[in-house]
């Protein structure tokens, strides 16, 4: 099974900060990596697909990078509506679309 490990599990940041979240796969997933944002009581929302492609309608302050086993989600200037939990998800293996354990972004 491919395992996904996110870091950190939580972080505190201020509005306007640059925030970086890391996701590591246990084996190469090329660029089959998606990022989702989830707010309390809501379903996840797709932000980034194929490691670095911005989903239609998502703010340009979100960006993704990486390939192979190491990936990054960056929020260039954190906005109040960005406080949420972020999940990476590999779509490489048809037998297990594993999600990372999540990174909670909180207000400092």
Partner 1 sequence: QVQLQESGPGLMKPSETLSLTCTVSGGSISGYYWSWIRQSAGKGLEWIGRIYTSGNTRYNPSLKSRVTMSVDTAKNQFSLKLTTVTAADTAVYYCAREVPLTRDNYYYYAMDVWGQGTTVIVSS
How many Cα atoms are found within 13 Å in the side-chain-facing hemisphere of 98? 18
Candidate residues 25, 32, 75, 78; the one interacting with partner 1 per rule CB under 8 A: 32
**CA 92 – CA 80 distance, rounded (Å):** 33
**CA 8 – CA 103 distance, rounded (Å):** 6
For position 59 contacting partner 1 by CB under 8 A, the verdict is no
Residue 72 vs 91, nearer CB to partner 1 = 91
Residue 14 vs 94, nearer CB to partner 1 = 94
Residue with tokens 């809501």: 42
Q: How far is the CB of 44 from partner 1 (least distance, A)?
A: 6
For position 37 contacting partner 1 by CB under 8 A, the verdict is no
CB atoms within 10 A of CB 15: 12
Candidate residues 21, 23, 25, 34; the one interacting with partner 1 per rule CB under 8 A: 34
């Amino acid at each position: 099974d491919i395992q996904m490990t996110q870091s950190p599990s939580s972080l505190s940041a201020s509005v306007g900060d640059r925030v970086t979240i890391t996701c590591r796969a246990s084996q190469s997933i090329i660029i089959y990596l998606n990022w989702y944002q989830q707010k309390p009581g809501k379903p996840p929302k797709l932000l980034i697909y194929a490691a670095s492609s911005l989903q239609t309608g998502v703010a340009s302050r979100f960006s993704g990078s990486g390939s192979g086993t190491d990936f990054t989600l960056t929020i260039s200037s954190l906005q109040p509506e960005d406080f949420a939990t972020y999940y990476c998800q590999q779509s490489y293996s048809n037998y297990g679309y594993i999600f990372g354990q999540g990174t909670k972004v909180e207000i400092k």
